[in-house]
Structure formats: C-alpha cells, structure tokens
Structure 1
C-alpha cells in the first residue's frame, strides 16, 4: 500500500443524487465515476441502530466513500486531525463524499435509520486507522 495522502477535509461534501418521482414513489441511483469520483467496489449498510449507538471511530488510508441515509437520519463528524465538520444526513437522494485520510464518527441515529455506504475498495483491514493517536501521527507525517 502506498503512503497515505494528506487529508482534505474541504474535499468532503454533500452530493445530490438523481431522483425520479411519480405517483408510485421515488427512485434514486448512484453510478460510479458519474455521481461519485470513484468506481464502486463494495456496498454495505448499517441498520438496527439505537439512538445511543456510535459507529465509525476510524479513518482510511486510501478508501473513498459515499454515505447515504436511505432511511431515517444520523450525524457524521469528519476530521482531518486539525479541524472538524459535522453533517446531518436525512435524505435518500443525497450522500456525503468522504475522501481518504479523514476520521469519521457516526451517531445520533433515529429510529429505523439505515446508513448505506458505497466504497471505492474491497474490505482491507490494512487500510484502516482504528487508533486515533496512530491516525494523528500519520496525518502529521504526511
């Protein structure tokens, strides 16, 4: 694996996704390299989350993600080791792009919340920072 890139908190942003609505309901979709700046290699989702549950508490060396609240709402706090930004996700037609070397904490899940994550890479434990001090050390070295 190559050396971690410098974190770019400013590159993390909300992306409005296509929404097609008619009398039957609504449909949204995401295409890799069109709606997100990466090919989608993995999809996973979090559900059955209580309001006191926290998730995340990690960073990635190379992985890019689009995080979507497909049901309910939740909060995400992103950090580059120096500054933080908080986002609330509550729309299934909007996602949060999170680039590499960004620490993320998720919480404040509403009842019935479902968090869908589209990822640029298959699962690889070596890509994770699970220890915040090690993450901060890597950020200061980049």
Structure 2
C-alpha cells in the first residue's frame, strides 16, 4: 500500500534527553498546517473511522502505544505505534481507525490542511464508493 508508509523521526539523544524534529517538506513530506494530539483515552475506546479527500497526516505516538488500521479500499494494513522515533504517514483517501490506546498514550497528528468538515468521509461504504477506480477516474 503506497498511500500508507512508516517513516523514521529524526531523534537526537544525549545526556540531557531526546529531541525529536519535524520539518515541513523534509522529515514530513508535506507542509504542516495543523498539529493536534489525542490523549486520556478510556479503555476500549477507538477513534478515527473516517478518511480524508485531500488531507494527509503523519501520526506519531509520542508516549505509550496504539494500533492503527488503514484501508485504501484495496489493501488493509495494521501498524502498532509504540515509539516516538517512528511516524505513520497516511495520505488522502485512506480509511483510518485507531484502537487499543495504552492508558498513557499521547498520539500527535501533523496535518497537511486546516480543519475542513467537508474533507471528511465518515461512512465506510461512501468511502469505498469514492475510492473505487471508476470514481477516481471520473473525478480526474
């Protein structure tokens, strides 16, 4: 699946601790327009359950762990994020679900676009329809 990719995060360690670096168009392959994080998840709660028409994201678990399921309508991929030295790049038109948040999980998200409710596809069947080869060809 070329629309989802694990990336290394530049992390510098010395006697004072760790410094992780995120640079637009370098370590993050898009211009960062929005940053947010998810924390304090209750046991058994999942998040996501949507795709984006235009927006790309990079997910980094800066503390704890969570499981991310991605689906580009052709291939499903599951990744466990448990290190702040790895990020998960999720391009547009990929369904995403986040599960199994550890109690201490902090999931940071770098986004390529500002928030736009029209960019979200929250119904899986609508996503499959929009992501089908015929739909993608017609929209070109």
TM range (shorter): over 0.9
- SS of 2:42's equivalent in the other structure is coil
Matched, 1:114 2:132: no
For the Cα contact (< 8 Å) 1:51–1:107, is it kept in 2?
no
Matched, 1:136 2:128: yes
- Partner of 2:91 in structure 1? 99
Deviation at 1:41, TM superposition (A): 0.1
Matched, 1:81 2:69: no
List runs of 5+ in structure 2 lacking aligned partners.
Answer: none
- SS of 2:30's equivalent in the other structure is coil
- SS of 1:10's equivalent in the other structure is coil
- Partner of 2:42 in structure 1? 50
TM-score normalised over the length of structure 1: 0.91
TM-score normalised over the length of structure 2: 0.93
- SS of 2:118's equivalent in the other structure is helix
Deviation at 1:96, TM superposition (A): 0.3
How many residues are treated as equivalent by the alignment?
Answer: 134
Q: Name which of 36, 43, 62 aligns with 2:54.
A: 62
Separation in 2, partners of 1:74, 1:50: 12
Deviation at 1:24, TM superposition (A): 1.5
Q: Name which of 23, 28, 32 aligns with 1:36.
A: 28
Q: Which moved more, 1:118-127 or 1:18-27?
A: 18-27
Separation in 2, partners of 1:20, 1:82: 37
Q: Deviation string for 1:45-103 (max 9, x for gaps)? A: 10001230100000000101000000000000000112200000011121000001000
List runs of 5+ in structure 1 lacking aligned partners.
Answer: 1-8
Separation in 2, partners of 1:50, 1:112: 10
Deviating above 2 A after TM superposition, structure 1's stretches of 4 or more consecutive aligned residues are: none
